[in-house]
Amino acid sequence: MHVIATAGHVDHGKSTLLRALTGMEPDRWEVERRRGMTLDLGFVWTTLPTGVTVAFVDVPGHERFVPTMLAGVGPVPAVLFVVAADEGWMPQSEEHLEALDALNVRHGLLAVTRSDLADPELAREEALEHLADSSLGRIPAVCVSGTTGAGLEKLRIALSELVAGLPAPEVEADVRLWVDRVFTIHGAGTVVTGTLSGGTLHVGEELQVCPGGRRVRVRGLQSLGRPVSSVPAVARVALNLRGVPREALRRGDALLTPGAWLASSTLDVRASRGPAAELPQQVMLHIGTAAVATRLRPLGEDTARLSLAHGLPLRIGDRALLRDPGARRIPTGLTVLDVAPPELRRRGAAAVRARELSTMTGTPDGAAELRRRGVVRRAELIAMGAPAPPGAPQAGGWLIDPAMLAQRATQLAAAVTAHAAANALEPGLPLETARRLTGMPDPRLVELLLRPQLGPPLTLTNGRVHLAEQTITIPEAVRHAITEIRAGLAQRPFAAPEAHQLAELGLGSKELAVAVRAGELIKIAEGIYLAPGAEEAAIPRLRDLPSPFTLSQARQALDTTRRVAVPLMELLARRGITRQLPNGTHEFHSAAQV
């Protein structure tokens, strides 16, 4: 299926033409048919000579209903522009063309209607001249009469050629369905309609409503009046929703693939018509079927920051337009450059941002976005519309720019070195301190900075970052105290010094930790320190005991106290050298006895 919107001045025969072309009534309301004027969006469809189905969104032409017209053309890729032969180009013809140009619509067909009332050539040439200066450029034209049927076959052929040239839809894309109608069907509940421009919808799937984030489930699905289990883009669709009352939805809301979109209320954009400084500051932003009150702040020659009254699901490269309701004009179209821009708090930040925006094209570029941001969540980058760059360093769902990674690794190595020099008893930099110093949003990113190819090799041990080849410096007073302890242990290897002895020598937990890291002492248990190799030296003494042996026998053989014997035996058991029997005695493992 393909979807085309109509455009053109009021009472130029748009609805009459669609009625003749499809055999269906596009005006849904009785008042529309009575007054002969379209007031709301209408939807009809037909099959073209090629067998392709085309659906039409019929829009009102009166100036009072321009916002409704914009809701109709916003999500649609092509337009059937209608001009009456007996009136020619009119004011709303121009405003509709401004809207199409602002939205960068590039596919269209001109239909000169009421050709039975006047020679259509003058109106045709005039309309083509206006259209040529817009994004539509030179488009085909067909002269028709909805009343007599003249030219309808040529129109069907021209429509077939138009849809054949439309870009292929992205049926695997994330769903963003802009709602254009909401109503209730007795016995079914809430129903919404819209033009599915990308992705595929399925019965039973869950969608997310924006704004608000509410989750709803697709209870039923119709396309062109028939129930279906799934429908790919591009298509006109009606969704029966479970879990939401009629009052909770309205035109301009969007139904989204959950978690795949950012609801952006602050945007940086490029204006198609400028300069930005001359654009009105209080405007309405139109995209899809949404119309949101917006405040504009000029940044550069053609760039600006928009602050929206509420968030919209937008992506880099989206096209939108601004409308000045007071002046009833469309001052510019927009290309979205950034849906998650940085705050402008510091003096001069706006000028810096303007220079940065001048280099951005609105084409999604994951590598460029990562360079600008330095570090970003992978899912967030994709939600912005930018693919994650292949090979980018990542950890914990975060991506980091390689240049930033190298710079922060150098910064971290310098900080670790400085910390070690200033804290001889505690040289490792705490992981959280390392995270804050390097500006990483997640501690897992700090581990990426430890890669050896980035600079001096770093290691993460017990929650602290160390230089891998760092020489441990022991203060003189601590070294003297260790020497004294080692002298005592040389006489009695298992007579670990008591807590009061350690305190008298000035050895607290930090000093003892340094001694252990330097290999001067080993820690058997909390408060129990022996000389390196003590556990190996205990083995031959214990082997001389009868098997199995008691803890008391082990204590006597080692010439130590129960305070040392218990954790030493536990250590040997953990290493698989000995084991404790159910009766509390100990024996060597058979492999250890060999």
Domain-wise residue ranges, the chain: 2-164, 176-256, 263-363, 533-594
In one-letter notation, the amino acid at residue 121 is E
pLDDT digits (tens, 9 = 90+) for 466-486: 876 655 667 788 888 889 999
Count CB atoms within 10 A of the CB of residue 229.
Answer: 10
What is the structure's pLDDT at 472?
62
Count CB atoms within 10 A of the CB of residue 583.
Answer: 7
For 514-540, the DSSP string reads HHHHTTS-EEEETTEEE-TTHHHHHHH
What is the structure's pLDDT at 429?
87
Instruction: Give the three-class secondary structure for 205.
Output: coil
Nearest residue to 311 (alpha-carbon basis) of 354, 350, 340: 340
b/e burial code for range 451-466 (CB count within 10 A of at least 16 → b): eeebbbebebeeebbb
Q: Which residues of the chain have pLDDT under 70?
A: 26-40, 60-75, 424-425, 452-455, 468-473, 591-594
Classify 288 in phi/psi space as left (phi over 0), alpha (psi -120 to 50) or beta. Answer: left
What is the structure's pLDDT at 61?
41
Q: What is the pTM of this model?
A: 0.76
In one-letter notation, the amino acid at residue 133 is D
Nearest residue to 303 (alpha-carbon basis) of 358, 372, 375: 358
Burial of 479 (0-12, 13-18, 19+ CB in 10 A): middle
**Equal fold, 176-256 vs 263-363:** yes
Residues 246 and 190 sit within 8 Å (Cβ to Cβ): yes
In the numeric block, the tokens 């930033």 are attached to 404
> From CA 308, how far away is CA 331, in angstroms rounded?
17
> From CA 538, how far away is CA 556, in angstroms rounded?
12
State phi, psi for 24 to the nearest 5 degrees: -115, 160
What is the structure's pLDDT at 16?
87
- Do strands 329-338 and 319-324 pair parallel, antiparallel, or not at all (unpaired)? antiparallel
> From CA 365, how far away is CA 348, in angstroms rounded?
26
Indicate the fold that domain 176-256 takes in CATH.
Elongation Factor Tu (Ef-tu); domain 3 (2.40.30)
In the numeric block, the tokens 């298992």 are attached to 494
In one-letter notation, the amino acid at residue 164 is A
Strand extents, DSSP E, 235-360: 235-242, 254-256, 263-271, 282-287, 290-298, 303-313, 319-324, 329-338
What is the structure's pLDDT at 65?
39
What is the structure's pLDDT at 64?
45
Separation in Å, CA 227 to CA 187, 202, 219, 222, 223? 16, 11, 11, 4, 7
The answer regarding whether domain 533-594 maps to CATH 1.10.10.10 reads yes
Instruction: Please give the class, per CATH, of domain 263-363.
Output: mainly beta
Indicate the fold that domain 2-164 takes in CATH.
Rossmann fold (3.40.50)
Instruction: Give the three-class secondary structure for 188.
Output: coil
Burial of 5 (0-12, 13-18, 19+ CB in 10 A): buried
For 431-448, the DSSP string reads HHHHHHHHT-SSHHHHHH
b/e burial code for range 133-159 (CB count within 10 A of at least 16 → b): ebbbeebbbbbbbbeeeebbeebbebb
Apex CA 348: angle with CA 343 and CA 351, to 5°? 85
> From CA 146, how far away is CA 151, in angstroms rounded?
9
b/e burial code for range 239-267 (CB count within 10 A of at least 16 → b): bbbeebeeeebebbbbbbbeebbbbbbbb
What is the structure's pLDDT at 172?
93
Measured in Å, how far apart are the chain's first and last C-alpha atoms? Answer: 82
